[in-house]
Structure 1
Amino acid sequence: MSFNCFVCGRENPKGLKLNIQLKDGFTYAEFSLDKDYEGYPGIIHGGIIAAILDDIMANVKFLEGYILYTVELDIRYLKHCLVDQRLFAYGYQKDIKHNIFYAYGEIKDESGEIKATGFGKYFIKGVYK
């Protein structure tokens, strides 16, 4: 299935095209963004970081075949994510209650320092597979 998703869609010419992978129940993606995505000079815009965290968390279930929608998103910016910096995003399942999926995500640099974290709450609508 292909999507025009801004974060992970391969068909979106203006998107980030992150290659989000699912392995052993968690998601991950490696990325580096240029100055087209900066807020303050040299720093990736916080909204872009939030979008990446939202997608990396939702894909924990989406890549298993579920359709889900973001209900709540809580982002903590701990350190600046810099333009052209090699970064890694991770998403983890925390819980599922009824049709609500709870997830945790983080973005780290090459040294393992956590740059931003996210907690997400998603409504599971159904399955697409």
Structure 2
Amino acid sequence: MKSASNPNAQKKERKLLPVIDLKCFGCGSENPHGLRMRFETDGSRLYSRLSIAEHLRGWSNLAHGGVISSILDEVMSWTAICLSERLILTKKMEVEFLRPVLIKEEIFAEGWSDEIIDGRTAIISAHITDAKGNVLARAKGNFALLKKSSFERLGITVENLPNSIETLLEIVANLKNMDEDK
């Protein structure tokens, strides 16, 4: 199965998103055991390029299924944050493993929004492809869209993170404005 979106295809302008939580397993740049994913967005989709380190392997040279699921959850979560311009929590996700994902080989993760329901839930999809555009795994998830005050009521702090959520949302808003100007 080939991806509809080839990593080498013509690209809309993309912006690199800031790292918000430096210690996050998925995107934290200072987590020595994590994935250290970085994300770019073109305002309608989210993209990440990475290779899975050997310490995150399953059998032999295969990436662990939990790590593959984490990559998909991370790209869907960032997609939900960027495209809804809200904070999120994962409610549910389903993963399909289609082909082996090998450690130490470059892979591409891509996320997009399927639907936003009543401003409270985002349905997000994502897939992982290899350099040839083959879809290796895909997922669909439901994400709760929350306000900052909801996070605070749940005891989740965002003030002490090194970079602001507002910076992230400002980047996304600017990309959307660029598209509207064209």
Q: Give TM-score, length-normalised by structure 1.
A: 0.93
Shift of 1:116: 0.1
Aligned mates of 2:58, 2:25 — CA distance in 1: 17
Tell me if 1:26 matches 2:50: no
What is the one-letter code of the residue matched to 1:87?
Answer: I
Shift of 1:61: 2.8
Aligned to 1:2: 20
Match of 1:66 among 65, 76, 86: 86
Q: Deviations over 1:88-110 (max 9, x none)?
A: 00000000002000001000001
Runs of 4+ in 1 over 4 A off after TM superposition: none
Shift of 1:63: 3.3
Aligned mates of 1:40, 1:84 — CA distance in 2: 14
Larger strand proportion, structure 1 or 2?
1
Larger helix proportion, structure 1 or 2?
2
Structure 1: runs of 5 or more not aligned: none
Structure showing greater Rg: 2
Tell me if 1:57 matches 2:79: no
Aligned to 2:89, the other structure's residue is in SS state strand
Aligned mates of 1:83, 1:125 — CA distance in 2: 35
Tell me if 1:47 matches 2:70: no
Q: Give TM-score, length-normalised by structure 2.
A: 0.67
Aligned to 1:91, the other structure's residue is in SS state strand
Structure 2: runs of 5 or more not aligned: 1-18, 149-164, 167-182
Tell me if 1:118 matches 2:139: yes
Q: Deviations over 1:56-85 (max 9, x none)?
A: 011113235421000001000000100111
**Contact in 1 for aligned 2:80/2:124 (Cα 8 Å):** no
| Percent of aligned positions that are identical | 25
Aligned mates of 1:17, 1:56 — CA distance in 2: 12
Shift of 1:13: 2.5
Greater shift, 68-77 or 2-11, is seen at 2-11
